[in-house]
Amino acid sequence: MDVSRLSFSSNAVLEEPFPWVYELEDIGFTGWEMVQEGTQCLSEENLPKIREVLETTNLVLTMHMPFSDMNLAGLNRGIHREVLRQMKNYISLASGLVEVAVVHPGYLSPYGKKVPERAWDTNVRSIQELCDTAEEYGISIAVENMPDFPMIFGREPDEILRILDDVDRDNVAMTLDVGHANTTGHLEGFLEKCRDRILHVHLHDNMGKRDEHLPAGRGSVNWEAVKKGLSDYKGRLVTEMSSLEEGRESLNFLKGL
């Protein structure tokens, strides 16, 4: 793993990001993943602030698409249209700022459980639409593997590969979330089966049961397997933490590998 490509992402979406983002380089990070949740959402109002960050630092920016109340497999047509409208708007706002946008696959709603193939097809078509929009702006869509949550797509390697194959776009690939894979027991499987499809990586730890987002080294993730499995990986490594202190702890642990 190339620790010179380490980015920081905060899931503390209630905290204004712009004061702390200027501390990232001093800590040792070279990138920032902006989460489209809460105070970090792209808007016409904060675009100048984001451009200022990029102009006054050497940080590489990536984007995590929104996931709260967002279901790409949703079968309520009106709500589903709004989900896609918002996501496409964030993609257009990110034009010229990012090259990678991370997206969560959809999940089965109570109605979707009754017609799972229809929900699957909706999920695939939704990602295709996002890819088509993103292509206009030179952005790749990286579909993230999910933790051990019921009814959500993308928890296993074969399912992620099926999503990517069904989407069938040149600008679609995978975000490997190491912590998520640890909760499903499929970390080694993702590293083996999906190696050639990994465009982006999220790093955090847990004890193998819940998606705890612990600093790297505090849980049961097999980090030696991660190091070996990503030995040829050249993309961004994003630590998803709650605070800069946890980010610093993760960075120091990963350097120690």
Per-residue pLDDT of the chain (257 residues; tens, 9 = 90+): 788 999 999 977 667 888 899 999 999 999 999 999 988 899 999 999 999 999 999 999 999 999 999 999 999 999 999 999 999 999 999 999 999 999 999 999 999 999 999 999 999 999 999 999 999 999 999 999 999 999 999 999 999 999 999 999 999 999 999 999 999 999 999 999 999 999 999 999 999 999 999 999 999 999 999 999 999 999 999 999 999 999 999 999 999 98
Separation between Cα atoms, residue 174 and residue 206, nearest integer Å: 21
Instruction: Supply the DSSP string of 132-199, one letter for each residue.
Output: HHHHHTT-EEEEEP--S-TTBS--SHHHHHHHHHHH--TTEEEEEEHHHHHHHT-HHHHHHHSGGGEE
Label residue 146 left, alpha or beta by phi (over 0 means left) and psi (-120 to 50 means alpha): beta
Q: In this structure, what DSSP letter does residue 15 have?
A: S
Number of domains in the chain: 1
In this structure, is residue 138 part of a structural domain? yes
Residue 230 lies in a domain: yes
Distance separating alpha carbons of residues 117 and 113, to the nearest angstrom: 9
Domain membership of residue 85 as a residue range: 6-256
Classify residue 33 by its DSSP letter: E
Among candidates 105, 90, 96, 239, which has minimal Cα distance to 162? 105
In-domain check, residue 71: yes
- Whether the CB-CB separation of 102 and 91 falls below 8 Å is answered with no
| Whether the model pTM is above 0.85 | yes
Structure tokens at 189: 């499987």
Counts of helices then strands in the chain (DSSP H, E): 11, 8
What is the identity of the amino acid at 8?
A: F
Flag whether 74 is in a domain.
yes
Distance CA 124, CA 65 (A): 16
- The reply to whether 1 falls in a domain is no
Examine residue 215 and state whether it is found in any structural domain, yes or no: yes
In order of 98, 122, 163, 209, 239, the CA distances from 26 in angstroms are 22, 44, 39, 34, 16
Residue with the two structure tokens 């989900």: 83
Residue 58 structure tokens: 């050497």
Instruction: Yes or no: say if 146 and 181 are a contact pair by the CB < 8 Å rule.
Output: no
DSSP code, position 210? S
Residue 173 belongs to a domain:
yes
- Asked if 166 and 137 count as a contact pair (C-beta separation under 8 A), the reply is no
CATH code, domain carrying 208: 3.20.20.150
Any idea what DSSP says for residue 13? T
In a domain, residue 108? The reply is: yes
Sequence length of the chain is: 257
* CA-angle at 213, arms to 181 and 208, nearest 5°: 45
